[in-house]
Amino acid sequence: MPKRSAGLLMYRRGGDGLAVLLVHPGGPFWAKKDLGAWSIPKGEYAAHEDALAAAQREFSEETGAQPRGAFAPLGDVTQPGGKHVTAWAVEGDFDPAALVSSTFELEWPPRSRRKRSFPEVDRADWFSPDEARKKILPAQRPFIDRLERMLENGE
């Protein structure tokens, strides 16, 4: 059975128009990657878990913030590795400077037998939809399109 992840696409509206919050994965494999590397805050969840509750938990674990508001479904996408990602949109505001991410351990450098701790995400930022489409993992781009359509339709 394919792995499943759930996440939130936080957005805000202001004088500069619509902006979406994306996070950059932490760790040595992603350190020098930018375009096509960012993601919505998300994480895996078990079959018995509620996907929206998992999305809220993962947002909190990756950013240190508790998302609040009305959560609007954005549907699912399948990433190239087969992982199914389900997302919701939520209007909110988050200060990227306040980012506090949970960590994971990894043997680094490889075959060194030394474990190092890395943040799950090493930064967060707000992007216009056009800039976000360049930054986000290609398989997650439909979430931005769906958010824009949802807002245009007044949902």
Query: Where does residue 16 rank: exposed (0-12), middle (13-18), buried (19+ CB within 10 A)?
Result: exposed
CA-to-CA distance for 40 and 24, rounded, in angstroms?
9
CA-to-CA distance for 29 and 91, rounded, in angstroms?
31
How many domains is the chain partitioned into structurally? 1
CA-to-CA distance for 75 and 52, rounded, in angstroms?
11
**3-state DSSP helix/strand/coil percent for the chain, to nearest 5?**
25, 35, 40
| Domain hosting residue 104, numbered range | 4-152
pLDDT at 58: 96
* Positions in the chain whose pLDDT score sits under 50: none
